[in-house]
Amino acid sequence: MPENRRARAAVVAAVLALLIGLFSLDYTVERGDSLSRIAQENGISLRELIDANDLSNPNLIYTGQVLVIPGQDKVHIVERGETLVRIAGIYGTSARGLADANKLSNPNLILIGQEILVPASSSGSAGTGESSGGSGGASGEATTRTGDYHVVKSGETIETIAAMHKGVSAADIRTANGIVGDTVYTGTRLFLSGPGFIAAGSPGTSTYTVKSGDRLGDIAAKYSTNISTLVSLNKLGNANVIRSGQSLKVPSGSTWNCPVGQASMFNDWGFPRAGGRFHEGNDLFTKRGTSVVAPVAGTVQFIVGSVGGNQFFLDGVDGVRYLGSHLDSFEGKDRKVAAGEVLGYVGTSGNAQGSSPHLHFGIYIDGKAINPYPTLLQFDCKR
């Protein structure tokens, strides 16, 4: 083989080896393997391998078992119905981190079949929530809200408003107020700084029916999890014994439920209200009596007020506090609830009497109101 062809082949082989290493997700145990040898061959410590796979007995691995190799970049292929937030939830990272890593100009627009790079440096580094800022249930860079705001006047745009305030950019205003697009309304209060937020929800599960020839390791790999997680979810006494037709719970990333299904809405955050108040949420218009459900699992408390009428406060497991107002009635009493559990029914209680039935919906992070609109759009709650 000529020298230049030999060199070219060596380069191609090196590139292929690099790509295989870069995008490797799992390792399937072969006969004669030991955990220490697998760790050594993949350039990681034995402890890292044990921790990544939650192995209670590192001396017990079996042929065909699928092990997660930590410290490797991963590639996720977008499936129908997935959002960037849900993909981030699967890998324990943030939607902002994925958007940055993949140079996505619009993180709300991903396509079925699209490859999403999940960097090793971000995978597993996030908390239970997602955001483009904020804290509490939000991951990503926290942005402090100074409290400074601007009330929109006729003819003003986001860009002209930003130009009026030193050190403020149009992007700052969009983020702080959950603005999607360029539309602003006269009389609206716009914060000049502060966190943006898109909820990630609470861990979810779906059901998989075991097929003939299935192994638990194969199922774990299919759902981007590990055998120990499946054993724990299904209380399996023996990871090597599953039967055809058996139903298994499998992780399905994070779930977030639209509080009233699809509803009529627009971004009415910051709209002026009586008494010098401004609207700190979104109104979701739908039929009277429509079930209002918990977006995530958490603890719910019901109260009755003169303005909000019949209201609920839900302290979610995602670290977010959710508020719903103007219900016709409650379902049950204060309690712990599952994601999707009915909390009450849409109405016009409080100061909404005489208006069209709707749910006033709010999101709070560390006691600060955050515009729910980006979250509602993300999870297709707008009719």
Report CA dihedral (22, 252, 90, 242) to the nearest 10 degrees: -50
The CA-based angle 225-231-234, given to 5 degrees, is 105
Instruction: Tell me what pLDDT residue 81 has.
Output: 67
Q: What is the pLDDT of residue 330?
A: 97
Any idea which architecture 202-255 has in CATH? Roll (3.10)
- Residues in CB range of 352: below 8 A, 6 or more apart: 309, 325, 326, 358, 360
Residues in the chain: 383
User: What pLDDT sits at residue 134?
Assistant: 33
Which pLDDT belongs to residue 235? 84
User: Tell me, what's the pLDDT at 254?
Assistant: 64
> What local confidence, expressed as pLDDT, does residue 137 receive?
38
Fold adopted by 274-378: Glucose Permease (Domain IIA) (2.70.70)
CATH number of 149-191: 3.10.350
The predicted structure's pLDDT at residue 26: 67
Task: Tell me whether the CATH fold assigned to 202-255 matches the one assigned to 274-378.
Answer: no
Q: What is the predicted pLDDT for the residue at 203? A: 67
CATH 3.10.350.10 at 74-118, yes or no: yes
In the prediction, which pLDDT does 94 show? Answer: 75
> Looking at residue 7, what is its pLDDT?
56
pLDDT of residue 141: 34
Instruction: Give the pLDDT score at 326.
Output: 97
- Quick one: pLDDT at residue 275? 79
3-state secondary structure 283-308: EEECCCCCEEECCCCEEEEEEEECCC
pLDDT per residue as tens, the chain (383 positions):
555 555 555 554 444 444 434 444 567 888 888 887 887 777 677 777 787 777 777 677 888 787 877 766 677 888 776 777 778 767 667 777 888 888 887 676 787 778 888 876 554 443 333 333 333 333 333 346 778 999 999 999 999 999 999 999 998 899 899 998 888 999 999 999 888 888 877 666 777 889 888 988 888 888 777 787 788 778 888 888 899 889 888 877 667 889 999 999 999 999 998 878 899 999 999 999 999 999 998 999 999 988 999 999 999 988 899 999 999 999 999 999 988 899 999 999 999 999 999 999 999 988 889 999 999 998 889 98
What does the domain layout of the chain look like in residue ranges? 74-118, 149-191, 202-255, 274-378
